[in-house]
Chain A
Amino acid sequence: MNYEFPRIESGIKGLDTHIEGGFPHPSVQLVAGPAGTGKTTFTQKFLFSGADNGEKGVYFTTLSEPPQWVIRYLSKFDYVNKDHMGSKVEFVDLSKVIRDGDPERILDFIDDNIGRTMAKRIVIDPVTVIESFIGEDYRPFLFDLVNHLKNWQAVTILTGEVKQGEDYPSDAAYSSDGVILLTYVEDDGARRKHLEILKMRGTCHRTGKLSFSITKEDGIVILSGKF
């Protein structure tokens, strides 16, 4: 009797064929990249696609953008069903509890909200800013966070801001089950976006950079050509 991981569709057009059909359930995936590469768009498509299938989602904002502004820009995308806002997709602001700098309180707050919503899809955007507030407790915090998130039987996307000189946020990458890197390269004066699956535990995934674009209709769309 082999144990096959259940998988859930990522919601990202063209991605699932490269990750055996979807994200393992439960799991924690890190989506990392510099500013403007589409991390938030990635997470929103993930949540709203799930919501279209009846799956409850929670979007935790940290210190990048409060929910009000996330929703404002989000509403421009066609794939966003506004009926889901505040119901199938809940927006929770983590900024206040993060500023207190107590890792246990942050975890309790996250646990309380997941327990309350019984969300199956979770986003923490971005997770990397938490390090500034809890310092050397950051790595053990990530260990506990990832453990908790998986024990809530959900698929979680953490987003990570990539600092100058680093390829990906290493602490979050080591703690996560999967790492998806979003980058852009300058090509003839234009910035072309690429997605690369650096790792995904338990998954036979595609390697190498995949071109993608961001459209109003579908959010992130993986293009069929490979870089």
Chain B
Amino acid sequence: MEDNDKLKKEIGEIIRTMNNEKQNKLMMITDATNRTIVNILLLNHFLKKEKTCGIFITFDRPHQYIKKILDIQGIDHSNLTFIDAISLISGDTAAQDNSSSLFMNGPYKIPLFHDLVARCYSNNRHKKQIDLRQMSFIMIDDISALCLYNKEEIVKRFILDFLSHIDKLDAFIVSFALDDNYNKELYTFIKKYCDKEVFIDPEENVLIHRNQESVAVMVVETETTRTRLQNLMIRRSKNIIPTRGQGVIT
């Protein structure tokens, strides 16, 4: 994370620009294996730099893994409300033992956003109200995981409803970290509604703005950067898309 100072600065610029332009939906495209780091970079900005309050919804894994990384990175998460939709079916009960976070019964039958917020409960089973007006950002990890548990129309309905709620709130940023190589349909769907799309690779320390046609728009400053970018694009273009062949599925 110390190597990503440049990225942290660029992320800060993006959020600031979005706030100034009254934009609130950010799509961060990154390789699936980099999603965690990208989320941490965003949380670093919101929690450490801006010291704002927000919500982190986990559909993919219990929230304590992100909490642990935040602790190690020295990022205070007392202003972050976790809504954990997966712990109860994860077999990983540690998060539920002594957590002040909120839980859902599961990532399936995903309700509309307003119901999701109303239905989640704290560990002692008391309903805890989240006041969205106190929040400055929402992050979802991982929006594509919803496709594992819900039909396409339900996922789309959730996303549209979620985004319409966001639009009613002031000074709110919502971000999706997504791998467009593996989730093309979902990416194409969400992209229509996002104000800004960037491609980010923390390993190469690269952030590329994409325009409406998802074409990279970037000024390449040095030859080193150009070479790194070329290597990154070559590597990304070789991203493995599974192909069916002879054999058995187990």
A54 at the binding interface (Cβ < 8 Å): yes
A202 CB contact (under 8 Å) in B32, B179, B204, B249: B249
Instruction: Judge if B35 is at the interface, Cβ distance under 8 Å.
Output: yes
Q: Is the CB of B240 within 8 A of A21?
A: yes
User: For the side of the interface on B, what is the size category?
Assistant: 35 or more
Name the interface residues of B117-140: CB closer than 8 Å to any CB of A. Answer: none
- Give how many A residues have a beta carbon under 8 Å from the other chain's beta carbons: 41
Interface residues of A in 5-41 (CB under 8 A from B): 5-9, 16-18, 20-22, 25
Complex Cα distance A206/B248, Å?
7
Pick from B36, B68, B189, B240 the residue with the most CB of A within 10 Å: B240
**Inter-subunit contact B179/A6 (CB<8 Å):** yes
Tell me which residues across on chain A come within 8 A of B189, comparing CB atoms. Answer: 1
What separation, in Å, do the CA atoms of A20 and B147 have in the docked complex?
21
Q: B144 within 8 Å of A by Cβ?
A: yes
User: B36 is contacted by which of A16, A144, A153 (Cβ under 8 Å)?
Assistant: A153
* B residues near A152, Cβ cutoff 8 Å: 65
Contact check, B245 vs A20: say whether CB atoms are below 8 A apart: yes
Partner of B242, one of A20, A116, A147, A199: A20
CB of A151 within 8 A of CB of B92, answer yes
CB nearest to B153 among chain A residues: A1
* Cα A32 to Cα B78 with chains together (Å): 44
Contacts of A153 in B (CB 8 A): 33, 35-36, 61, 65
Contact A111 B68, beta carbon cutoff 8 Å = yes
Per-residue interface assignment for chain B, residues 237 to 250, with 1 indicating a CB less than 8 Å from any chain A CB and 0 otherwise: 00111111111111
Chain B: CB-nearest residue to A104: B94
| A197 (CB) vs chain B CBs: closest residue | B247
Q: Determine the distance from Cα of A148 to Cα of B62 in the docked complex, in whole angstroms.
A: 10
What A residues does B246 contact at CB under 8 A? 204, 206
Check B74 for interface membership: any CB of A closer than 8 A: no
How far, in Å, is A168 (CB) from chain B's closest CB?
14
**A1-B92 in contact (CB<8A):** no
List which B191-250 residues lie within 8 A (CB) of chain A.
Answer: 203-204, 235, 239-250
Residue A84 CB within 8 A of the other chain:
no
CB pair B240–A22 under 8 Å, yes or no, is yes
CB distance B185 to A1 under 8 Å? yes
Given the interface pairs A21-B240, A21-B241, the reply to whether A1 lies near B248 with Cβ below 8 Å is no
Query: What's the Cα separation between A143 and B249 when bound, in Å?
Result: 22
Interface SS of A by simple majority: loop
Does B182 sit within 8 A of A, measured CB to CB? yes
Query: Are A6 and B248 within 8 A (Cβ)?
Result: no
B181 surroundings in chain A (CB, below 8 A): 6
User: A147 to B65, alpha carbons, bound, how many Å?
Assistant: 12
Q: Is residue A45 within 8 Å, beta carbon to beta carbon, of the partner chain?
A: no
B145 CB contacts on chain A under 8 angstroms: 3
Q: Report if A216 contacts B (CB, 8 A).
A: no
Tell me whether A209 is interfacial, beta carbon within 8 Å: no
- Chain B residues with Cβ under 8 A from A203's Cβ? 242, 247, 249-250
A200-225: which residues lie under 8 A (CB-CB) from chain B? 200-207
- Shortest C-beta distance, A148 to chain B (Å), equals 7
* Contact yes or no, A3 B90, CB < 8 A: no
Contact of A20 among B62, B65, B90, B243 (CB under 8 A): B243
> B119 to nearest A CB, angstroms?
24
Partner of A21, one of B31, B35, B183, B242: B242
Offer 18 A-B interface pairs, CB within 8 angstroms, sorted by A: A6-B31, A6-B182, A7-B242, A8-B240, A9-B240, A18-B247, A21-B243, A25-B32, A111-B68, A115-B68, A120-B33, A151-B61, A153-B33, A200-B250, A201-B250, A206-B245, A206-B246, A207-B248
A sample of 7 more A-B contacts (CB under 8 A), given A6-B182, A120-B33, is A6-B181, A6-B239, A20-B244, A115-B65, A150-B61, A151-B62, A153-B61
Contact surface of A with B, Cβ cutoff 8 Å: 1-9, 16-18, 20-22, 25, 53-55, 111, 115-116, 118, 120, 143-144, 147-148, 150-153, 199-207
